[in-house]
Structure 1
């Protein structure tokens, strides 16, 4: 089941109608009109399932009694309100019109099939609700109502379309984060006196014992399900189109898609549990029912046009696609082929050859269906192999899991049909992309492989640190092994060869890496997992060595010295990611004394620690052990929500929580607090035009306001928010901590080589026991700098216009300046080469702004700078490196 704070179309519709009815009843009572025959409805809320999540800090009060009120009674109430001096808020009318809009869509679908009572039932609701709105707006409802009806007594506005302004307003907000119209505000005193109302259909339209009435409303519930699935499908298709156009990265598109499929499963289960037993509950029967009823409505035959290779009628192709019947029929046709102890083979070219360069928009319906059939028939044997050999990819995705479960159960479902259609949409949306998902995964693997190889080379140049646990190196080896097993080699190809030898049957040649080249979501989640694991182990490495953080202090100390200029874009990016508060405990230090005080605190050797009882047992100089130092933490808040599910290298064997049970609400609370701080002074009523502009420019800010006010949002809103935030976090997730560690070690070694004699002079020969403790040079340099400043002050060399600068600090600045001229932006260049979101990388340095680089050309240029010639050749040819 979907969590209470997520609303699908049906929940939104019930909330709108009941909210509107509640407002109307209570305002009418204030105007002196007492509603007749209010029927108590104990224990139910707008959705009939108990009270939804309460607002934060909302005062507790007794739940008010709820009553039922008919639509006809609401019309009388509206007339009483319209005759009074009460001005109807636009938000109230917006709520009612949104319910009308959805109901119109349903009516346009149902008119023509079923009983006349069903048609009359839906048309009556729309007619009365529109009359109520017009009455509240001051229009002549009777005139408009008589003009709307045709000779059959059916509301002609159902087929004529919706109000243009309302539709434009709703459409603009559909894929953003503002499906909720402004909630109707209430004071605490008013809430205690308010009568809660649930709107119901009129009994004079259908008798209380009429089963058709119940089925009609259940059809409406089913329609809302397919309505939501279609909206989600369109959103996901657009997301993959943006990926193909290089506007969104692969990880973002895959995470959003995988979690949308989780939400779809929860929604389908909820709807199936709500509809009556007369409706089909299992398999693809619900899809067949929708298809058959639509054929009946249009007067078209439901039999498939098999002569065209279709499993449905060509005239009903749009409905078949809308209810995913085509995909379901392909899955159903594969069931007889699945046999125990056998692995089906697909003969390449049997149904044709998939041409990714073909223009799908110019294809006919049979050609599109055949193309989908080719893709599925190629993939289904791959999943049978996975099930037979119990192959587990390092990360679990919903599409692969659904396919494997289908192989076991041999029962296609509505959810699986939706998931497969989403997978096909992703393939079609990216077919013309210059770099596909499989190529992006290989690029990520090459980048990580080079990073790990450089790390092993660096590790051989210094003794093994006692403070770096062996588990750290083991995790790095596991990451490298994962790349070798699933990216550099095709695990399924080996299984095909093994099965051919074991079962002694013919085998047909098939493309290598077929699974990863077709399942874009799996590629994206594997990319996400590799980056998550590299971020985790990279931050642990930098925390244990504490070299990058200490060098940030030295970099800042040089910057604060008079006459010294130093540019290190990578360090500035590192500080930007983790914040000055985390690195420096506040703003950047202004002098050597302040800097060393902060440095001793973050490294765990503050004056408080020096006075500890066991201080005498310590060595003279600090040795990093990774225990007392200020640790780095991931700052990717949205990525952290999915860390538990996707980071584990054996996630396929565990049942991790879905997005529905993840800590989404905590993240939304933080988002609402941020948006509130930004708009603390704005207390005026929201303007529709301004809110639309805000939704287009900063949807997360508007959603933060909504969440704080209502603690409710739509599933599409949540997906859109996750998509936007994940895209922003991409450069942070890909930041190369290993490279920063390497650069820090190399800089410190150059400083040691140049200033070794001075370190010996000041701190004796034992100033650094071995090279693994080289980061402590920064503390020693700070001691020297602080001593120089103190000596200058004693000699009277300082005044308001002069500054005493340590010679050693100036020497370190010269070393760093020469080194950083070549390697100061290596990490930034790597990010510009691999990231889709380059806006985050625009960091202004002290020498001027950041020059914008062309995104299209930067990808190729950047690869040559971060990959070796052998790796580039492997990428070009597809041949793994020896």
Structure 2
């Protein structure tokens, strides 16, 4: 299990409220609840002049009039399902938005039900507790100060908490709470409890049935669309990003302690940033309706300064990028990384044949104590480092031949840099990837080049191995070893030569007539890129090695010889690599059964593994040996 959130906390919260709405609506119907409140169509609502009725997918802002408030307090509002499709094979589920006041109505009806007597699952109470706690924390947090003064929005936010608490009270006092085995996730999962069985062939061959017109409806909670809801979502997103950031920092601290190899740390880091990107995309529609992430971020930072008593616009010295008195809060909010990345992107020329002009690169101090630096020193150090690293990565992106297809082992930082340069917009997950790079530098300091040393060692080893094997096979051909296999070997060898042994990026920088910051600077200062590059080389080498072993039978031949020598006591010492291989691959894979122990069986098993029919070795066999229809094992 990775030590960071797999998905957005805000989406989990929305699923919680939808789960409560769905449980209330479905249970109320099962208890005989009148269909009026759950089946009244959109057209009927609109005929009565209700301005608030909307489909489940609509994102209209809600009006503030008295008529709207009255409509909210009455009943759940169903949504008219869309026009049926011409093909009867794909009926759509009717989708109903359950208004927040209707939660209490449904809960009271369920509590009074005698036939059946409802047992509310404990997991439902847990989900209510989680939603209530989250809302209350937000009410007390500084982000409330970021929202514009809006009486209706404030009322809706606190009213939602009141409704959830009232539902919990009603269900807790008036129903039998079950301690069933369902978890909170089960409530949001409509497939929970299904048994999976293998279908019969008769079932698989049966014609598709005509779908039933009556489709089980889907119930969701009607959500408030106001500034409070946006800042709640944004606050939870930033908390998720902070959790990811701290978890990744711990991964690289463990890497320094020898607990992780560079590949494992890099893969986990890259996956974490990918999760962050998806979290931001999940709530993009909601945030965009209130000005976008940049606007919300600026207001959120202003609220932080207001809460801490700092002046957002104060500068101790002319030219300061921010108020360094608030540096710790700014660092937590990733503001320095945001400012640095935004400024850098503005300096990148649009011409793909150009390189960003960031001035003359200077030496980077890796040995000094990071914690003893002043806020201004930290900012200037990070800015100088980041400008050089990002400039080298832009040069790597713009290396001829890699501008469109990507780099070997390309990570989320480089991928995000591509997008930011093309769109001239900086996303929060871009900022997080840059912030994580800086955090790794702060953690590892002079040890930042350890992943590069590992990459250099791996590249040199693979290069030597390829050269040795290629020399041994020179002039030999096999029908199963095609030109595409040769091409894969050549491309791998060339990438190692161009990127690891030489420095393709440095040549690109010099081609732009810029001063290069040093050979392999882009690798030495980007440990995630190094780890993914190692992984890319090793996986490509692994695939080539399997093709080679299957074509030339190198491993199979060696194992049969090794087994024969060991059985005949011709060798005393053990072959460590082959012993490991025998642990990974059972005897049945290499010998078509148990490992042979008699002389007459050695050649027999070897022949069978190489495509000879086992019938050729039977007592009744006549004529020359025959090949097996299945071919080589």
TM-score (normalised: structure 2): 0.71
Aligned length: 543
Q: Once the 2 structures are TM-superposed, how far is the Cα of residue 110 of structure 1 from its aligned partner?
A: 3.4
Q: Distance in 2 between matches of 1:493 and 1:420?
A: 22
Q: Distance in 2 between matches of 1:9 and 1:36?
A: 34
Q: Which residue in the other structure is 2:496 paired with?
A: 483
Q: Which residue in the other structure is 1:372 paired with?
A: 382
Q: Which residue in the other structure is 1:128 paired with?
A: 163
* Residue from 114, 136, 153 that aligns with 2:148: 114
Q: Once the 2 structures are TM-superposed, how far is the Cα of residue 438 of structure 1 from its aligned partner?
A: 1.0
> Highest relative contact order (Cα 8 Å, sep 6+), 1 or 2?
1
Q: Which residue in the other structure is 1:38 paired with?
A: 38
The yes-or-no answer on 1:629 pairing with 2:632 is: yes
Structure 1 514/591 Cα, relative in aligned 2: closer, same or farther at 3 Å? same
* Residue from 227, 232, 235 that aligns with 2:244: 232
Q: Which residue in the other structure is 1:99 paired with?
A: 131
Classify the secondary structure of the residue corresponding to 2:493. helix
Q: Is the 8 A contact 1:546 1:629 kept in 2?
A: no
The yes-or-no answer on 1:527 pairing with 2:534 is: yes
Q: Is the 8 A contact 2:510 2:516 kept in 1?
A: no
Q: Distance in 2 between matches of 1:593 and 1:127?
A: 84
Q: Which residue in the other structure is 1:448 paired with?
A: 462
Q: Once the 2 structures are TM-superposed, how far is the Cα of residue 272 of structure 1 from its aligned partner?
A: 2.7
Structure 1 498/547 Cα, relative in aligned 2: closer, same or farther at 3 Å? closer
Q: Which residue in the other structure is 2:208 paired with?
A: none
Aligned positions of 1:533-548 closer than 5 A: 533-548=540-555
Q: Distance in 2 between matches of 1:186 and 1:456?
A: 56
The yes-or-no answer on 1:198 pairing with 2:220 is: yes
Identify unmatched segments of 5+ residues in structure 1.
1-5, 51-59, 141-177, 203-212, 501-506, 631-882
The yes-or-no answer on 1:215 pairing with 2:227 is: yes
Q: Which residue in the other structure is 1:68 paired with?
A: 97
Q: Distance in 1 between matches of 2:35 and 2:519?
A: 72
Q: Once the 2 structures are TM-superposed, how far is the Cα of residue 590 of structure 1 from its aligned partner?
A: 6.4
Q: Once the 2 structures are TM-superposed, how far is the Cα of residue 323 of structure 1 from its aligned partner?
A: 4.6
Q: Distance in 2 between matches of 1:10 and 1:47?
A: 19
Q: Distance in 1 between matches of 2:102 and 2:37?
A: 9
Q: Which residue in the other structure is 1:402 paired with?
A: 416
Aligned positions of 1:109-508 closer than 5 A: 109-112=142-145, 113-115=147-149, 116-138=151-173, 180=185, 185=192, 196-200=218-222, 213-280=225-292, 284-295=294-305, 300-303=310-313, 305=315, 307=317, 310-314=320-324, 316-317=326-327, 320-334=330-344, 337-339=347-349, 344-349=357-362, 354-386=364-396, 390=400, 392=402, 393-404=407-418, 406-407=420-421, 410-431=424-445, 433=447, 436-456=450-470, 458-459=472-473, 464-467=476-479, 468-469=481-482, 472-500=485-513
Q: Once the 2 structures are TM-superposed, how far is the Cα of residue 575 of structure 1 from its aligned partner?
A: 3.3
Q: Distance in 1 between matches of 2:185 and 2:400?
A: 45
Structure 1 243/32 Cα, relative in aligned 2: closer, same or farther at 3 Å? same
Q: Is the 8 A contact 2:153 2:226 kept in 1?
A: no
Q: Is the 8 A contact 1:394 1:526 kept in 2?
A: yes
Classify the secondary structure of the residue corresponding to 2:524. helix
Instruction: Render the CA deviation track for 1:521-556: whole Å, top value 9, x for unaligned.
Output: 221222112111211221122111113213323444
Q: Is the 8 A contact 1:65 1:196 kept in 2?
A: yes
Q: Distance in 2 between matches of 1:289 and 1:308?
A: 24
Identify unmatched segments of 5+ residues in structure 2.
1-5, 43-53, 60-78, 80-88, 176-182, 196-213
Q: Is the 8 A contact 1:516 1:523 kept in 2?
A: yes
Classify the secondary structure of the residue corresponding to 2:300. helix
Structure 1 114/478 Cα, relative in aligned 2: closer, same or farther at 3 Å? same
Instruction: Render the CA deviation track for 1:167-186: whole Å, top value 9, x for unaligned.
Output: xxxxxxxxxxx994676856
* Residue from 605, 611, 622 that aligns with 1:604: 611
Aligned positions of 1:545-560 closer than 5 A: 545-556=552-563
Classify the secondary structure of the residue corresponding to 2:37. coil
Q: Distance in 1 between matches of 2:242 and 2:587?
A: 45
Q: Once the 2 structures are TM-superposed, how far is the Cα of residue 131 of structure 1 from its aligned partner?
A: 4.1
TM-score (normalised: structure 1): 0.53
Q: Once the 2 structures are TM-superposed, how far is the Cα of residue 566 of structure 1 from its aligned partner?
A: 6.8
CA RMSD between the two structures: 4.5
Classify the secondary structure of the residue corresponding to 1:88. strand
Structure 1 345/70 Cα, relative in aligned 2: closer, same or farther at 3 Å? closer
Instruction: Render the CA deviation track for 1:248-275: whole Å, top value 9, x for unaligned.
Output: 2222332333344444444434433344
Structure 1 111/41 Cα, relative in aligned 2: closer, same or farther at 3 Å? farther
Q: Which residue in the other structure is 1:518 paired with?
A: 525
Q: Is the 8 A contact 1:310 1:369 kept in 2?
A: no
